[in-house]
Amino acid sequence: MEAFPILTLVTVAPLVGAGLIMFTARRRPGLVRGIATAVTGFSLLGSLWIFFAYDSSIGGYQFYAKYPLVPALGISFEVGVDGISLLLVLLTALIIFTGVFASWTIHVRNQEFYALLLTLVTGVFGVFVTLDLFVFFLFYELAVLPMYLLIGIWGTSAQVRPRGIFAWAIRETGLGSKEYAAMKLTLYLLLGSAFILVGILALYFAGGAGSFSLLDLEEAGFDPGLQRWVFLALYVGFGTLAGIWPLHTWSPDGHASAPTAVSMLHAGVLMKLGAYGIVRIAMGLLPEGTLDWVWLVGTIACINIVYGAFSAMAQTDLKYVVAYSSVSHMGIVLLGAATLTEAGLNGSVFQMFAHGIMTGLFFAIVGLVYEKSHTREILRMGGFGRRMPGVAAAFTIGGLSSLGLPGLSGFIAEILTFFGAWQSSYHWWLFPAVAGTFLTAIYILRVAKQIFWGPLDEGEHSHLPDAEGPEWVSLVVLSGVLILFGVLPALAIAPVDSATVALLDRLGVLP
Amino acid sequence: MVHLIWPIPALPLAGTLILVFFGRRLGARAHWVAVPSVGLAFVVALAAFLRVWRDGETFTGPLLDWIIAGDFRAPVTVQLDQLSAVMLLVVTGVGFLIHVYSIGYMHGDPGYPRFFAYLTLFVFSMVMLVLAGNFLLLYVFWEAVGLCSYLLIGFWYTRPAAADAGKKAFIVNRVGDFGFALGVMLLWVSLGTLEYDEVFAQAWALPTGTATAIALLLFAGACGKSAQLPLHTWLPDAMEGPTPVSALIHAATMVTAGVYMVARAHVLFERSGVALEVVAWVGILTALFAASIGLVQNDIKRILAYSTISQLGYMFAGVGVGAYAAGIYHLVTHAFFKALLFLAAGSIIHALGGEQDIRRMGGLARRLPVTTLTFLVAAVAIAGIPPFAGFFSKDEILAAAWASGHLGVYALGLLGAAFTAFYIFRLVFLAFFGPSRLDAEAARHLHESPPVMTIPLGFLAVLSAIGGVWGLPGEHGTPIARFLDPVLPHGEAALGPGTGPLLMAVAVATALGGILAAWRMYLRRPVPAERLGVPSNRLHVLLLGKYYVDELYDALFVRPLVAVSEWCARVFDLGVIDGLVNGAADLVGRWSSVLRRVQTGLVMNYALSMLVGAVILLGLLVRWR
């Protein structure tokens, strides 16, 4: 595998694309889109190749490569994928490839937009493939920071003003405006990174091997007292990005204000970065810390599931519904991980993928609907199914996956997580989890009915075309993936299982 | 044997896929794909049934592994035995007839190919549901048929009522499925397997409490799917779907899945004992409850919907008192006569250009002879008049209730039977006989349906008429009970000598009494048109309001849920969490504007503060020493 550094190429291709766009494509939006399509297409093909070439019967880190960067400090560019990151690399590639098409209609500074978007994606790929914690952190920041500009410049402010008894106080803060959202998101995530940095440095120094390599640190065997607080620091740090309750309020605002592709990427992939960090670093390196704190992780995850679903139910802005549904679904991811069972952990990773795809699909649809009807307010829509049957079908597929209908990816993730919850030491986790899928059904069906069913207001929405041209790409690809992995889950579960068993083995909880 | 099994689901699935991808191109020719795919599936199912019937050959085996995650394995196991063979025949046979009927009924609908795509998808899912050889697969297709139901109820999605009904069906079913999922999970935790044969072999080792919990949780799912109390509210609304859908999904097949499931898992219910009693009582109470609502409804499809709920209640009562074969037999005969009732009702609606209110019908017999005749056959069958099919199956259930000592169930069942005879003949008399109350427009539109619709009616009428042969009491129970014996063991009904004929006589007398009452009230001295359906007393109001269950649920569940969600989203999320966050930001802002004043930019001020600081530090140092 040394021969062809496919992982590195997949990772840096978007960054190269960003460079090309900045230097060669000034005022040529067609060329900008062409370059973006080419590099993300390359990454997609590469990750598909990796996905199918990965040998799950061997497991472990494959496509491994290591290039020393700062030998004195034990920093190197070390890459490799196991079953977990494998799936997430594919997810990232799918989302960004379709995201490029979903941003087709961005005309304002389209050069800078695509450059930032692609830079961000390199950060995401980097986080998933790197095995060196120092480089990991660099990529992590690279993935988070462009968000500020992307939302602040290309975002849209919500039309729905705050309501409720605190509305007067909230209006003052500018809640709902894109500037507020960008600032809130960035500050939150930077606060999270501070926790992560502290945790990583503690591990580096306590490890004593003078190395940031994950592989070296796995061997280190940390002091239980240290594990206790480092786990908590990492959990809070990564958890912020994963949208754990009560640190989640950046995400609805952020996702609702961001432009389509950024929402897709952020809810679809970046939130998984947080969950991935918890599974890979916090749980992978700190077995005793994990055992100390799973009760907290799982309990908060349960709150996420139910609270997110309830909050989604009350929203009247379509984007906020989807955003809160992410808060709810990320709960499934973390709950699955907290069960410390094979089924649960597989469910968790599968949910990272499944939720990534379906929320990407949702945001793509919201973007389309907004572009055509110029409203995000659910109550002002109705009967769109007649004019945009394709969009309605895609929304239905995503929605049914989200409420866990068998045959779609969401079901596999949820059922595995449920079985894991039963097997865990905390049986009661099952109940909020199952209740969450019930509540999901309520808000998803309500939205589907309100937007796509019922009579069409011919006056207000007289011109309402179905998806056209490049807009089909994200709808078809993403809903196809939801069905494919729902019908053939073994495609993903085989590699994931090889990685989760290894992880559970390290945690010493394998029966 | 496998080569006789896989085509049964594969054919309708292939039909669905062709319709999904090429439906738009096929347009009005969509039935050329759908009807043969289901028809061929029926032929194969018939061949498979004959194999099982003649040779007693059954098959259980995995087709492939679906999910494997550690000790959690989910193979796609199919099981073809006597029970699933009977169900397959019903699903594909009735399904085929209804597909043919739909060619006429749905003719010219803009969603024609979409309709057949959903309908074949339903047949595929239902076939897989009855073929499933483990609980996970059962659950998967349990949900899948629910999806088809949702899509087909909301088929005319631009109608707000249809959109609401689809949503309601899905959500109410979700409540039951919540229990079903927990039951499956509890089963897996207790036994470590979900395969039918392994579960039923080990079920006797389960503690009674666990078995009761599992059985009741599974039954919650059955209550949702089969519209039993307290989850029955979705089925009457589901009548917003096209009539063939009501016939196939909401009468003949999908709603009987709960009965099938309880019969299939009867070992678990027997292990519990209590659970079986619960099934019997929920069933018979639902039967009576729904029949009483049916007495006063005026929408032809709603009457039939409450009738379906009621008849499903009889089936549950049957399996609940241990007469599994009788319950399944009633399922089969009900599939014939209720599908027929719905299709004939559809023929009326078609003929009247959409009119569904029996108060605005009357005297249709002269103009719609085939529809009237077939409807009458079905009405006699459901009312329980020998020798029509419904008589034998319902009588089996009531006799089993009597024989097993469930006298309360028997008495309520008999009362329900009287109600049944009354409401169905009220419908018959008001719609087909007496003076015409049609408005001029409908009267002009009036015509008998085309052969493509009436021929399926004829087939179903024959089945409703002669379906009783399987239920003729014999030396060792009815033929169907003997056939199902390997799967559903039937205890010898310990009826005393002569009790059987006596019970039959009582049942026939009850049914005739109901018919007579309807005749006296609606035909002999017809109620004036303007007074039809006008409530005359409080009981009537209560029945017309369907006992106000929907209103009760709205107050008990819907409003509190909405309130909680409002609280989460507006009060807690915006108020408390964001309040703290924004408050923190505000605090930082305020403090920094205070501290900013210190930065005056005057060097003298800075020098002064340095001096003060140095003095303090020095002082501290000196003290420390």
Alpha helices in B352-450 (DSSP H): 369-383, 389-403, 407-432, 440-445
User: What's the pLDDT tens digit per position in B317-352?
Assistant: 999 988 888 889 999 999 999 999 999 999 888 888
For the cut 90, the answer to whether the pLDDT of residue B121 exceeds it is yes
Facing B568 at nearest CB: one of A184, A307, A383? A307
Do residues B487 and B495 touch, judged by C-beta distance below 8 A? no
User: What's the pLDDT tens digit per position in A455-468?
Assistant: 877 777 767 777 77
Which of A183, A448, A172, A176 is closest to B583 using CA atoms?
Answer: A172
Query: Does B523 reach chain A within 8 Å, measured CB to CB?
Result: no
Residues of B in contact with A315 (CB under 8 A): 569
Query: Angle between the B112-131 and B7-26 helix axes, to the nearest 10 degrees?
Result: 170
Question: What is the distance between the alpha carbons of residues B379 and B512, in angstroms, rounded to a whole number?
Answer: 12
User: What's the pLDDT tens digit per position in B72-103?
Assistant: 667 788 888 889 999 999 999 999 999 999 99
Cβ distance of B574 and A422 shorter than 8 Å: no
Question: What is the distance between the alpha carbons of residues B562 and B621, in angstroms, rounded to a whole number?
Answer: 65
Residues of B in contact with A347 (CB under 8 A): 69
Question: What is the distance between the alpha carbons of residues B142 and B130, in angstroms, rounded to a whole number?
Answer: 10
Residue A63: in which H helix or E strand, if any? strand A62-70
Over its C-alpha atoms, chain A yields an Rg (Å, rounded) of 21
Which of B321, B325, B313, B328 is closest to B273 using CA atoms?
Answer: B321
- How many of the other CB atoms lie within 10 Å of CB of A187? 15
Query: Rounded to an integer, what is the distance from CA B546 to the centroid of its chain?
Result: 18
- List, in order, residues 6 or more apart from B471 with CB less than 8 Å away: B329, B333, B389, B392, B393, B395, B396, B478, B479, B480
CA dihedral A445, A450, A453, A458 (to 10 degrees): -170
Residue A380 tokens read as 């002002």
Sign, CA torsion A383/A389/A391/A395: positive
Question: What is the distance between the alpha carbons of residues A158 and B100, in angstroms, rounded to a whole number?
Answer: 51
User: What's the pLDDT tens digit per position in A416-447?
Assistant: 898 888 888 888 898 899 888 889 988 998 88
> Helix, strand, or coil here: B68?
strand
Tell me the helices (H) and strands (E) count for chain A, helix number first: 23, 2
Cβ distance of B68 and A343 shorter than 8 Å: no
Burial class (CB in 10 A: 0-12, 13-18, 19+), B63: middle
Residues of B in contact with A480 (CB under 8 A): none
Do residues A108 and A152 touch, judged by C-beta distance below 8 A? no
- List, in order, residues 6 or more apart from B624 with CB less than 8 Å away: none
Residues with pLDDT less than 70, chain A: 1-3, 158-176, 462, 511
Cβ distance of A449 and B568 shorter than 8 Å: no
Buried b (16+ CB within 10 A) or exposed e, B579-588: bebbeeeeee
Question: What is the distance between the alpha carbons of residues A265 and A248, in angstroms, rounded to a whole number?
Answer: 17
Instruction: Give A344-363 as a DSSP string.
Output: HHHHHHHHHHHHHHHHHHHH
Domain presence at residue A1? no
CA-nearest residue of chain B to A501?
Answer: B70
Which of B200, B252, B134 is closest to B489 using CA atoms?
Answer: B200
Domain presence at residue A185? yes
Query: Does B494 reach chain A within 8 Å, measured CB to CB?
Result: no
For the cut 60, the answer to whether the pLDDT of residue B404 exceeds it is yes
Q: What's the confidence (pLDDT) of residue A144?
A: 84
For the cut 90, the answer to whether the pLDDT of residue B40 exceeds it is yes
Do residues B87 and B260 touch, judged by C-beta distance below 8 A? yes
Q: Residues 33 to 72 of B: which have CB under 8 A from any A CB?
A: 65-72
- List, in order, residues 6 or more apart from B590 with CB less than 8 Å away: none
How many CA atoms are closer than 13 Å to the CA of A238, on its beta-carbon side? Answer: 25
Facing B171 at nearest CB: one of A162, A307, A442? A442
Residue A311: in which H helix or E strand, if any? helix A287-314
Residue A323: in which H helix or E strand, if any? helix A318-338
Query: How many independent structural domains does chain A possess?
Result: 1
Q: Could you tell me the residue range of the domain that residue A406 belongs to? A: 6-507
Residues of B in contact with A314 (CB under 8 A): 562, 565-566, 568-570
Residue B61: in which H helix or E strand, if any? strand B59-69
Do residues A197 and A133 touch, judged by C-beta distance below 8 A? no
Sign, CA torsion B11/B12/B17/B22: positive
User: What's the pLDDT tens digit per position in A64-113?
Assistant: 888 888 888 888 888 888 889 999 999 999 999 998 888 887 777 888 88
**Alpha carbon separation from B151 to B113, B147, B198, B245, B347 (Å, rounded):** 14, 6, 35, 10, 23
Residue B109 tokens read as 């609908």
Domain presence at residue A206? yes
Q: What's the confidence (pLDDT) of residue B127?
A: 93
CA-nearest residue of chain A to B579?
Answer: A170
Question: What is the distance between the alpha carbons of residues A202 and A180, in angstroms, rounded to a whole number?
Answer: 33
Query: Can you state the percent helix, strand and coil of chain B, rounding each to 5?
Result: 75, 5, 20
**Alpha carbon separation from B474 to A45, B326, B477, B478, B607 (Å, rounded):** 69, 14, 5, 5, 115
For the cut 90, the answer to whether the pLDDT of residue B25 exceeds it is no
Query: Does B20 reach chain A within 8 Å, measured CB to CB?
Result: no
Examine residue B160 and say whether the peptide bond preceding it is cis (omega within 30 degrees of 0).
no
For the cut 50, the answer to whether the pLDDT of residue B255 exceeds it is yes
Question: What is the distance between the alpha carbons of residues B578 and A170, in angstroms, rounded to a whole number?
Answer: 8
Q: How confident is the model at residue B5 (pLDDT cuts 50, 70, 90)?
A: confident
Facing A434 at nearest CB: one of B167, B178, B188? B178
Sole residue written with tokens 């003649």:
B54
**Alpha carbon separation from B522 to B295, B419, B424 (Å, rounded):** 12, 15, 12
Do residues A101 and A114 touch, judged by C-beta distance below 8 A? no
Indicate the average pLDDT of chain B.
Answer: 86
Q: What's the confidence (pLDDT) of residue B99?
A: 92
**Alpha carbon separation from B550 to B234, B498, B559 (Å, rounded):** 9, 45, 12
Cβ distance of A454 and B158 shorter than 8 Å: yes
User: What's the pLDDT tens digit per position in B126-166?
Assistant: 999 999 988 988 998 999 999 999 999 988 888 888 888 98
Question: What is the distance between the alpha carbons of residues B219 and B259, in angstroms, rounded to a whole number?
Answer: 9
Higher pLDDT, A276 or B586: A276
Sole residue written with tokens 């609270």:
A307
Residues of A in contact with B164 (CB under 8 A): 449
Facing A490 at nearest CB: one of B68, B185, B561? B68
User: What's the pLDDT tens digit per position in A117-155?
Assistant: 899 999 999 999 999 889 999 999 888 888 888 888 888
* Residue count of chain A: 511
A47 CA to chain B: closest CA distance, Å? 23
Q: How confident is the model at residue B123 (pLDDT cuts 50, 70, 90)?
A: very high
Tell me the helices (H) and strands (E) count for chain B, helix number first: 28, 2
Query: Can you state the percent helix, strand and coil of chain A, rounding each to 5?
Result: 75, 5, 20
Over its C-alpha atoms, chain B yields an Rg (Å, rounded) of 31
A135 CA to chain B: closest CA distance, Å? 31
- List, in order, residues 6 or more apart from A65 with CB less than 8 Å away: A1, A2, A5, A7, A8, A78, A79, A80
Q: What's the confidence (pLDDT) of residue A1?
A: 42
For the cut 50, the answer to whether the pLDDT of residue B509 exceeds it is yes
> Helix, strand, or coil here: A62?
strand
Question: What is the distance between the alpha carbons of residues A400 and A407, in angstroms, rounded to a whole number?
Answer: 9
Domain presence at residue A477? yes
Indicate the average pLDDT of chain A.
Answer: 86
- List, in order, residues 6 or more apart from B492 with CB less than 8 Å away: B477
For the cut 80, the answer to whether the pLDDT of residue B584 exceeds it is no
Domain presence at residue A480? yes
Facing A438 at nearest CB: one of B178, B568, B577? B178
Residue B196 tokens read as 């039918």
Residues of B in contact with A341 (CB under 8 A): 70
Question: What is the distance between the alpha carbons of residues A330 and A354, in angstroms, rounded to a whole number?
Answer: 11
Query: Angle between the B407-432 and B369-383 helix axes, to the nearest 10 degrees?
Result: 170
Q: Residues 185 to 244 of B: which have CB under 8 A from any A CB?
A: 185, 188-189
Q: What's the confidence (pLDDT) of residue A237?
A: 92
